[in-house]
């Protein structure tokens, strides 16, 4: 008698995990309660999410099959090494907050992985829907509520423009994913709003990272593209761009002219990134084996120059973790690439999660600290889970094949 498929995965853990991942660092002092600044809502939300996830995993009827999880083991070793490097960090390093960030990052990665294993199709589709809705809320809040900041760049809910552009371009990836999974055109019609908000963020690196991922995706599916849909999509985007350009307020045109034309093309201004990266490289050379320790860049350089972090994930690992940290990070990336290569039983949902992970990873080469790269790790975990998880129809299909073989 064929076994019944597992019950559908709970959606509650995914909702909590996505809210935690999008919300970033949020303590109650930001909500107007300075006496409760020690209450970190990430910790509370993650504890609740893990409890619900544990209940969800316990109700699954059959044990999960053996999987290739070497990448996950090396990733956790990488996080543990970063935490352990606090033992030789400079005195001025912010060890406590950075350690908490890494612990939460490891917990988020594990939680997203095991939640997705229960039902990869449903988990990825639900996550894309949540990011699609979040991109709409963030874009509307930035344009109509928060408005431009001191530099004329847009963002929402207290986050920086570099975080804002990631949410918006993840919204584009989510819209494409929802279209591919449901064949409904409606999500694609919202993409001009996301692209407009991404441009208003003024984040050049985020736009470049999104362009690289988009071109890579088009190149991969170039053989399946049909002229009609391609021309229709291109015409729609061009028409939307023309309408936005002529209907946008003067702040939009001035931001585009100043940020992308004058600063980038004419002045070649890179927000002092080259000086910061050079300092991180010098630190890596001075501490080649195990690095300067957790948050060592701030403890030795940033505390005097008012620079929070190296604004490059790999250079931060090299400066603060040395060759050991770089080796663990490289090993995790190589093993993860081998895991998701081919997409497993679900190449479509695996590919969507890979695209989101690669986009955030590329963006992390220009801005953000370790915790700001959390969406890269969480989408990477979802992609790996989708790639290694067996198809839900396998238990029922095997007896069916046996009956067909016995039928004369």
pLDDT the model gives residue 374: 95
Q: CA end-to-end span of the chain, whole Å?
A: 20
Q: Is 148 helix (H, G, I), strand (E, B) or coil?
A: strand
Which residue reads 């095991």 in tokens?
A: 114
Mean pLDDT by 10 residues, the chain (408 residues): 64 92 78 71 92 87 66 96 96 93 96 93 95 96 84 83 93 93 88 89 87 86 68 71 66 62 53 84 94 93 85 95 97 96 86 96 92 96 91 45 40
Which residue reads 């663990």 in tokens?
A: 328
pLDDT the model gives residue 100: 94
Q: What is the residue range of 216's domain? A: 69-389
Task: Calculate the alpha carbon distances from 209 to 100, 177, 213, 337 in Å.
Answer: 28, 18, 6, 19
pLDDT the model gives residue 395: 41
pLDDT the model gives residue 196: 87
Query: Taking the CB of residue 308, how many other CB atoms lie within 10 A of it?
Result: 14
Domain count, the chain: 1
Alpha-carbon span 107 to 87, nearest angstrom: 22
The answer as to whether 87 is a domain residue is yes
Cα-based angle 128, 42, 357 (whole degrees, multiple of 5): 35
Alpha-carbon span 93 to 358, nearest angstrom: 29
The answer as to whether 107 is a domain residue is yes
The answer as to whether 40 is a domain residue is no
The answer as to whether 179 is a domain residue is yes
pTM above 0.75, yes or no: yes
Name beta bridge partners: 27: 40
CB 207 within 8 A of CB 165: yes
Helices of type H across 119-249: 120-141, 161-182, 191-200, 204-220, 227-247
The answer as to whether 104 is a domain residue is yes
φ and ψ at residue 153, rounded to 5 degrees: -95, 145
Query: Taking the CB of residue 350, how many other CB atoms lie within 10 A of it?
Result: 26
pLDDT the model gives residue 399: 42
The answer as to whether 271 is a domain residue is yes
The answer as to whether 49 is a domain residue is no
Alpha-carbon span 375 to 167, nearest angstrom: 10
DSSP letter for each residue of 93-144: S-HHHHHHHHHHHHHHHHHHHHHHHH-HHHHHHHHHHHHHHHHHHHHHHIII
The answer as to whether 46 is a domain residue is no
């Amino acid at each position: 008698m064929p076994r019944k498929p597992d019950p559908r995965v709970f959606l509650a853990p995914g909702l909590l995990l996505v809210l935690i991942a999008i919300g970033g660092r949020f303590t109650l002092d930001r909500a107007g309660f300075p006496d409760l600044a020690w209450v970190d809502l990430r910790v509370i939300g993650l504890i609740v999410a893990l409890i619900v996830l544990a209940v969800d995993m316990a109700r699954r009827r059959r044990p999960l099959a053996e999987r290739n999880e070497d990448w996950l083991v090396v990733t956790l070793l990488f996080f543990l090494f970063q935490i352990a490097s606090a033992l030789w960090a400079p005195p001025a390093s912010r060890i406590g907050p950075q350690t908490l960030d890494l612990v939460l990052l490891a917990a988020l990665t594990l939680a997203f992985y095991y939640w997705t294993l229960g039902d990869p199709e449903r988990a990825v589709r639900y996550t894309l829907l949540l990011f699609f809705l979040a991109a709409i809320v963030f874009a509307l809040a930035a344009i109509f509520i928060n408005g431009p900041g001191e530099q004329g760049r847009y963002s929402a809910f207290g986050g920086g423009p570099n975080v804002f552009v990631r949410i918006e371009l993840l919204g584009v990836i989510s819209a494409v994913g929802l279209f591919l999974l449901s064949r409904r055109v409606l999500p694609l019609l919202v993409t001009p709003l996301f692209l407009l908000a991404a441009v208003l963020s003024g984040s050049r690196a985020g736009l470049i990272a999104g362009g690289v991922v988009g071109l890579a995706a088009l190149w991969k599916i170039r053989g399946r593209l049909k002229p009609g849909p391609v021309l229709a999509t291109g015409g729609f985007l061009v028409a939307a761009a023309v309408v936005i350009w002529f209907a946008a307020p003067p702040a939009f045109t001035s931001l585009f002219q100043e940020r992308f034309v004058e600063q980038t093309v004419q002045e070649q201004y890179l927000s002092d990134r080259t000086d910061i990266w050079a300092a991180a490289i010098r630190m890596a050379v001075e501490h080649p084996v195990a690095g300067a320790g957790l948050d060592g860049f701030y403890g030795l350089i940033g505390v005097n120059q008012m620079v929070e972090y190296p604004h490059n994930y790999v250079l931060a690992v090299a400066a603060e973790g040395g060759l050991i940290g770089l080796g663990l990070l490289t090993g995790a990336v190589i093993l993860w690439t081998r895991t998701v290569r081919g997409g497993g039983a679900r190449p479509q949902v695996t590919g969507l999660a890979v695209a989101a992970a690669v986009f955030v990873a590329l963006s992390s080469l220009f801005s953000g600290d370790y915790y700001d790269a959390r969406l890269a790790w969480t989408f990477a975990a979802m992609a790996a889970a989708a790639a290694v998880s067996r198809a839900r129809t396998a238990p029922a299909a095997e007896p069916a094949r046996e009956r067909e073989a016995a039928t004369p």
